[in-house]
Amino acid sequence: MSTQNPFQPSATEIARRYANTRKAMAAAGLDALIVSGSEYSGFEGAVRYMCGFHILHRYAYVVVPMKGDPIFVTPREATWVGDHSQSFVKQAAKPPHCGEWLAAHCREQGWKRVGVYGLEYIMSVRDYRALLDARLELVDFDVAFDHSRAQKSEEEMASVRHSMAINKAGVLAVIQAYKAGRTEAELMGVAEQVFVSQGTARNTMDMVLIGPHGSLRPQMVFADPHRRVADTDALMYGLEVSGEGGHWVEFSRLLAPKGVSDITRQLLDAYAEFHELAKAHMKAGASAEDVHRKCIRPFEGKGWRLGHVCGHSIGMTMIEHPRIGEGAEFALVENMVCSMHPHVMTEDRSACLYFQETFRVGKEGGEPLSGVPVRYYTGGESGL
């Protein structure tokens, strides 16, 4: 039996999710929707959003008809993988080949136009091929589904804030554990111990940027179990987690025991201005593109390059639509949650800065959920 999760959605919240999803399905003229999830970090969330099941291994689907009960579908080989009692969807199927079962079920129901969430990255090729062979009209529903769940309820916001508390605790643990001569991976392990002990399970996505003389090289890498850090290095542990409720957040801050280089100082000042602009402009009704253009100004005209999207919507899937960037016309809604993290580097790509922060869109502006200012740490600090 599943243990009690304090962030298990209420019946009201579940009904809200399905109502929003079916509204988007109706607008697209769908007969049904297949929602895909996989074990790949950050891509399990859509299934969890629609049925409560946290994928431990392999993949799963939720079939959502326009009318009638949804069905939770997992491969037979995964019958004993994961806690299936977590699902709040009553009907379940465990076929040997999910794609063939999905295709047969669609034909039996007489469905013609079927949306699929997960066509861009998630759905397995063999299942997609089975659906193609059924000659269904498949509709890529990735953007529409993400847009339908962009606005978070108060229940969801409680889960988001809980995830941020865990993320901050992990970042602080690394700062407090810092000591020259420890390996990159040793320091990362301190954060991971905090994360797993506080209920993230496998839902963490860890990386590090590191560089000499108080600066960061632009490449994001796995923490090295052999390389020992020097006190003149700069370190940015990029940590992304979701807690028991399944909502992802991103938060990181710079560690520079001997201070930062001149170029890093300039980038820090620009990043601090970026965060102030995000607080001012991430308000309900503003377009994602307009927010990008207004917030990115501190980095423009200075010979710097942008190596990463300005930001993106984030929820129970790590990266959701819309992105906060050029061509994104989506109008932000109150209680939408966005990760903001422009990856800014010098023209010669020798140094960069990359701060992760998660914002809530409000009526009057953006709320940085960490509450932590843009600054660097030298190691051993008692708090953020």
Q: Where are the alpha helices (DSSP H) in 178-303?
A: 184-197, 262-281, 288-295
Please tell me the pTM assigned to this model: 0.95
At 101, is the pLDDT very low, low, confident or very high (cuts 50, 70, 90)?
A: very high
- Amino acid 3: pLDDT: 62
Task: Give me the chain's average pLDDT, please.
Answer: 96
Q: Where are the alpha helices (DSSP H) in 28-153?
A: 45-51, 98-109, 125-133, 142-148
Q: How do residues 6-41 score in pLDDT, each as one tens digit? A: 899 999 999 999 999 999 999 999 999 999 999 988
Q: How do residues 116-134 score in pLDDT, each as one tens digit? A: 999 999 999 999 999 999 9
279: nearest Cα among 291, 263, 267 = 291
- Amino acid 2: pLDDT: 53
- Amino acid 309: pLDDT: 79
Instruction: Quote the CA–CA distance of 98 and 16 in Å, as a whole number.
Output: 27
Domain spans, the chain: 11-148, 154-377
Is the pLDDT assigned to residue 5 strictly greater than 90? no
At 137, is the pLDDT very low, low, confident or very high (cuts 50, 70, 90)?
A: very high
Sheet holding 366-368, edge to edge: 320-324, 311-313, 337-340, 357-361, 366-368
Q: How do residues 81-92 score in pLDDT, each as one tens digit? A: 999 999 999 999
Count CA within 13 A, CB hemisphere, residue 115.
24
Q: Which residues contact 133 (CB under 8 A, 6 or more apart)?
A: 103
CATH class as words, domain 11-148: alpha beta
* % pLDDT > 70, the chain: 99
User: Per CATH, the architecture of 154-377 is what?
Assistant: Alpha-Beta Complex (3.90)
At 307, is the pLDDT very low, low, confident or very high (cuts 50, 70, 90)?
A: confident
* % pLDDT > 90, the chain: 96
Please check whether residue 73 is in contact with residue 50, taking contact to mean a CB–CB distance below 8 angstroms: no
Instruction: Quote the CA–CA distance of 342 and 94 in Å, as a whole number.
Output: 42
What 8-state DSSP symbol labels residue 222?
P
Is the pLDDT assigned to residue 305 strictly greater than 60? yes
Match 């790949």 to its residue by tokens.
Answer: 40
275: nearest Cα among 174, 362, 356 = 356
Please check whether residue 210 is in contact with residue 235, taking contact to mean a CB–CB distance below 8 angstroms: yes
Q: How do residues 317-356 score in pLDDT, each as one tens digit? A: 999 999 999 899 999 999 999 999 999 999 999 999 999 9
Domains 11-148 and 154-377 share a fold: no
